[in-house]
């Protein structure tokens, strides 16, 4: 995969000087362990990488160019990452943001949101897809090891309902299939009921050895754990490692939190190795894995800031709106986004787990909050 990614990067539309510097910085990121980019490395390289991405999207995406021109922002000026222009993530639900010709788009990701603000549509080309897959292939082994494992996907192969909402889940499943030692097994039927036969057959094939489980949080809870709680079959998942993320907002009204989910998984299945991750359809690949101490971590490929309501940078330990930065998106201007989540940054390079980079927690969703930022120019024209 590495050679393919490097070939695609060499065909980039970045200008030669900055493009070569960015390619060299990305190559060093992939050469390091996935959580080794410390504050000093980021200070030397990240400003240039994000500036180059901003300039690229300014040149290739007319909507993004219109936003920056309306705010009188010069994309050629290298700034600290914290001072770079960002977009509110909700903007992807309101307009088309694409930096490549439609003929070069290999995937269209549709968010699973069903609120009044609509769904995000993200356009992925082959170079971006390869970068995202390669980043994921560096991040996930940090918790499961380097060997491929039998994979149980807690979802349906082709769910009968909501095919648009399933699109993003399907891409994520494909991504995690990189770590499968064989063909993935799906724990649910197309009607989202338990596939008891296939689950039993999977566990028999695993033979009491380590295996990987992957799914989206709300799917795991509503269609897997709750269903198992009704039948209580004698399944032993003690050798499994489950990675899950997304959909917490769907469970909040039911009073389901991470602690309860882990307790139920332990009681029903003797499953204790569970890793939550924070991520979004607007920035696939650069997920934020949770460590054993309960913090989400920036990998080499991401950065975060926490901002107050006036968009100034909050102090460590101060709650605010989470901003996420990814070095991966080339086909759409999703490299620097202000989310709709309330978070708190706890520190940088000094987590007890040993990972470098910033680490944080998500407190809750911010329903109805529309922070003022770059998107206002586009939506008010």
Please report, for the chain, the start and end positions of each structural domain, with discontinuous segments joined by +: 2-100+302-379, 137-278
| 100, HSE (Cβ side, Cα atoms, 13 Å) | 23
Which residues are registered as beta bridge partners of 211? 240
Residue 220, φ and ψ in degrees, nearest 5? -60, -45
User: Is the four-CA dihedral 139, 145, 149, 152 of positive or negative sign?
Assistant: negative
Query: What tokens appear for 271 in the block?
Result: 């499953």
**What is the per-residue pLDDT across 233-287, written as a single tens digit (0 to 9) for each?**
889 999 999 999 877 767 777 778 888 999 999 999 999 999 999 998 899 889 9
Would you call 113 helix, strand, or coil by DSSP?
coil
Compute the average pLDDT of residues 93-117.
81
Top CATH class of 137-278 equals alpha beta
Whether 342 and 362 have beta carbons less than 8 Å apart is answered as yes
Question: How distant is the alpha carbon of residue 191 from its chain centre?
Answer: 27
Could you give the CA distance from residue 53 to residue 83 in angstroms, rounded to a whole number?
14
The per-residue pLDDT for range 44-95, each reduced to its tens digit, is 889 989 999 999 999 999 999 999 999 999 998 888 999 999 999 999 999 9
**Cα 242 from Cα 231, distance rounded (Å):** 21
Give per-residue pLDDT as tens, 182-193: 999 999 999 999
Average pLDDT over residues 99-113: 86
């Amino acid at each position: 995969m590495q050679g393919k990614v490097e070939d695609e990067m060499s065909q980039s539309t970045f200008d030669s000087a900055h493009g070569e510097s960015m390619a060299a910085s990305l190559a060093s990121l992939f050469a390091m362990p996935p959580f080794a980019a410390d504050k000093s490395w980021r200070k030397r390289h990240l400003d240039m990488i994000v500036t180059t991405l901003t300039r690229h999207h300014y040149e290739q995406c007319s909507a993004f160019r219109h936003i920056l021109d309306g705010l009188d922002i010069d994309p050629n000026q290298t700034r600290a990452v914290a001072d770079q222009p960002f977009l509110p993530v909700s903007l992807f639900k309101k307009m088309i943001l694409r930096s490549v010709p439609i003929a070069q788009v290999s995937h269209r990701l549709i968010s699973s949101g069903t609120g009044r603000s609509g769904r995000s549509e993200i356009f992925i080309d082959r170079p971006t897809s390869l970068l995202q897959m390669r980043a994921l292939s560096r991040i996930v082994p940090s918790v499961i090891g380097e060997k491929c494992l039998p994979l149980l996907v807690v979802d349906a192969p082709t769910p009968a309902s909501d095919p648009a909402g399933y699109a993003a889940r399907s891409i994520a499943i494909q991504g995690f299939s990189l770590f499968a030692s064989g063909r993935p097994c799906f724990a649910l039927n197309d009607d989202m009921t338990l596939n008891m036969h296939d689950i039993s057959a999977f566990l028999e094939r695993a033979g009491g050895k380590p295996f990987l489980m992957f799914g989206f949080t709300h799917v795991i809870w509503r269609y897997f754990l709750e269903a198992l709680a009704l039948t209580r079959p004698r399944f032993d998942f003690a050798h499994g490692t489950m990675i899950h993320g997304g959909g917490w907002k769907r469970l909040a009204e039911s009073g389901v939190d991470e602690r309860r989910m882990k307790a139920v998984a332990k009681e029903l299945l003797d499953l204790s190795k569970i890793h939550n991750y924070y991520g979004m359809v607007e920035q696939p690949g650069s997920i934020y894995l949770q460590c054993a101490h309960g913090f989400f971590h920036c990998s080499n490929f991401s950065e975060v800031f926490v901002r107050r309501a006036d968009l100034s940078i909050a102090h460590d330990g101060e709650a605010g709106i989470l901003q996420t930065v990814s070095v991966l998106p080339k086909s759409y201007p999703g490299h620097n986004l202000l989310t709709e989540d309330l978070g708190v940054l706890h520190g940088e390079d000094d987590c007890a787990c040993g990972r470098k980079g910033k680490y944080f927690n998500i407190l809750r969703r911010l329903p109805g909050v529309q922070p003022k930022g770059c998107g206002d120019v586009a939506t008010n024209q």
